[in-house]
């Protein structure tokens, strides 16, 4: 065990910090779930990619920096420390990218990864359907072979980033006679394909962060299938592992929230009860525990380990910590907690209300926490189905 950074890791941190200090926007960009915000975020991603910082653990030929996962954690810490913009292509860089590394052919990697890194192609997720939410194996949207194309018919919903994305990855039923998690395939779909209609959905905060996607005979080349035909479920589980287990929510995000919550406590110290102060301290401890557990996971992965069902523990932990921190922030804001940013009396309320609404989606997306608890109980603890 060695809980100190090596010289190489310290040098990497210094380099990342210097670049971010010189390049990260000093004024927050508008939300990437608005048209103007999506444009601004794509510009930022282009700059990040030009600097070689878009996805540091990827090999250089795919737009990465050839760093290891530990250095990725360090980069994330510096990224949040710099309050750099949220990642519009998080579906691409954190979820699809690692899945492509594992399942993609050399041609697919060369075709897709560099444009994911540069966000020239922004990705949406296509998992849920109107009748397949927590029960993802109930997917009915079909992708049937016709020569060297799949013809897709059906509907996806809650497609994150669907409104402003270029591509969608998701699971489709390639064997119409199949049931449950058999006969599914993981397919990459250009959203400008004829026969696809994207209808943005306004979320709880009013922004169009997800969309319905209708497929009416859209033709997609078979070469856009990731992994073997009918093996989509295993490919999707790998994506879900990255999503829940490591990449989507790095600890720096919650450490930053905890630090801002602590600052809010200082600003409102006079009105904070002893209990509220203790609760804030407990949240900081939670964020630190999450960081420590992530370092432990990364150490394990670097030594050849894999992410398995324990990804579900992560997802439960960070999503509930995030809500707790935002609830406390609203308590500290008191009477002003309900004010929108444009309200004349809203000075100092920051973005807590918006991010509280977003935090509430945490226990729902990436598989509800009820499903995660079932996974923990059945696959980690070995309880009967």
Catalytically active residues, by annotation: 243
Contact 284, 349 (CB under 8 A): no
Residues contacting another protein: total by CB under 8 A:
60
Tell me which of 20, 139, 226, 252 binds another protein, using CB under 8 A: 252
364: left (phi over 0), alpha (psi -120 to 50) or beta: alpha
Give dist(CA 254, CA 232) in Å, integer: 32
Tell me which of 192, 304, 345, 385 binds another protein, using CB under 8 A: 385
Give dist(CA 357, CA 26) in Å, integer: 24
Residue 129 β-bridge partners:
132
Asked if 70 is part of the footprint of another protein (rule: CB under 8 A), the reply reads yes
Q: Among residues 9 and 102, whose Cβ is nearest to another protein?
A: 9
Q: Per CB under 8 A, which region of 2-10, 38-46, 123-131, 331-339 contacts another protein?
A: 2-10
Asked if 13 is part of the footprint of another protein (rule: CB under 8 A), the reply reads yes
Interface characters, 279-308, with another protein (x: CB under 8 A)? --xx-xxx-xxxxxx-xx-xxx-xx-----
Give dist(CA 141, CA 212) in Å, integer: 13
Q: What is the CA radius of gyration of the chain?
A: 21
Q: Per CB under 8 A, which region of 123-131, 208-216, 310-318, 346-354 contacts another protein?
A: 310-318
Asked if 180 is part of the footprint of another protein (rule: CB under 8 A), the reply reads no
Q: How far is CA 88 from CA 121, 253, 299, 308, 378, in A?
A: 10, 15, 28, 26, 34
Tell me which of 55, 248, 265, 325 binds another protein, using CB under 8 A: 265
362-381 residues in contact with another protein (CB under 8 A) are 370, 372-374, 376-378, 380-381
14-33 residues in contact with another protein (CB under 8 A) are none
Minimum CB separation of residue 95 from another protein in Å reads 22
Tell me which of 24, 201, 237, 259 binds another protein, using CB under 8 A: 259
Tokens of 93: 């860089």
Tokens of 16: 């990342």
Minimum CB separation of residue 93 from another protein in Å reads 18
Tokens of 239: 């994506």
Give dist(CA 62, CA 109) in Å, integer: 8
Contact 71, 12 (CB under 8 A): yes
Minimum CB separation of residue 371 from another protein in Å reads 10
Q: Which segments within 229-296 are labelled E, that is strand?
A: none
Asked if 81 is part of the footprint of another protein (rule: CB under 8 A), the reply reads yes
Give dist(CA 366, CA 236) in Å, integer: 11
Give dist(CA 5, CA 328) in Å, integer: 33
Q: Cβ atoms within 10 A of the Cβ of 39, count?
A: 15
Tokens of 280: 């804030």
Q: What are the residues binding another protein (CB under 8 A)?
A: 1-6, 9, 13, 70, 74, 76-78, 80-81, 251-252, 255-256, 258-259, 262, 265, 277-278, 281-282, 284-286, 288-293, 295-296, 298-300, 302-303, 310, 313, 316-317, 370, 372-374, 376-378, 380-385
């Amino acid at each position: 065990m060695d809980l100190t950074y090596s010289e190489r890791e310290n040098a990497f941190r210094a380099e990342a910090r210097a670049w971010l200090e010189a390049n990260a926007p000093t004024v927050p960009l508008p939300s990437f779930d608005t048209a103007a915000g999506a444009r601004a975020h794509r510009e930022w991603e282009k700059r990040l990619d030009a600097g070689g910082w878009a996805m540091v653990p990827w090999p250089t030929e795919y737009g990465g920096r050839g760093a290891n996962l530990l250095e990725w954690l360090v980069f994330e810490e510096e990224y949040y420390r710099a309050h750099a913009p949220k990642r519009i292509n998080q579906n691409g860089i954190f979820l699809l990218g690692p899945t492509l590394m594992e399942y993609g052919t050399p041609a697919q990697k060369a075709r897709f990864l560099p444009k994911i890194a540069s966000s020239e192609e922004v990705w949406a997720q296509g998992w849920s359907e109107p009748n397949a939410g927590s029960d993802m194996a109930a997917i009915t949207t079909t992708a049937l072979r016709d020569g060297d194309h799949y013809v897709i018919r059906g509907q996806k919903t809650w497609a994150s980033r669907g409104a402003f994305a270029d591509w969608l990855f998701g699971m489709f039923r390639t064997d119409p006679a199949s049931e449950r998690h058999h006969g599914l395939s993981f397919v990459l779909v250009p959203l400008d394909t004829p026969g696809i209609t994207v209808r943005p959905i306004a979320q709880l905060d009013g922004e169009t962060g997800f969309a319905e996607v209708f497929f009416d005979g859209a033709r997609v080349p078979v070469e856009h299938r990731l992994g073997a035909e009918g093996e989509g479920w295993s490919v999707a589980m790998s994506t879900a592992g990255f999503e829940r287990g490591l990449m989507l929510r790095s600890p720096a995000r919650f450490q930053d929230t905890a630090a801002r919550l602590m600052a809010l406590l200082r600003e409102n110290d006079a009105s904070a009860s002893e209990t509220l102060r203790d609760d804030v301290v407990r949240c900081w401890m939670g964020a630190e525990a999450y960081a420590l557990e992530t370092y432990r996971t990364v150490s394990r992965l670097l030594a050849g380990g894999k992410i398995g069902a324990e990804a579900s523990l992560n997802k439960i932990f960070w999503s509930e910590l995030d809500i707790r921190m935002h609830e406390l922030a609203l308590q500290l804001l008191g009477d002003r907690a309900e004010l929108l940013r444009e309200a004349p009396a809203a000075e100092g309320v920051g973005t807590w209300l918006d991010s509280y609404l977003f935090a509430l989606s945490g226990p729902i997306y990436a598989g509800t926490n009820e499903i995660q608890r079932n996974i923990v109980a059945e696959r980690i603890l070995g309880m009967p189905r």
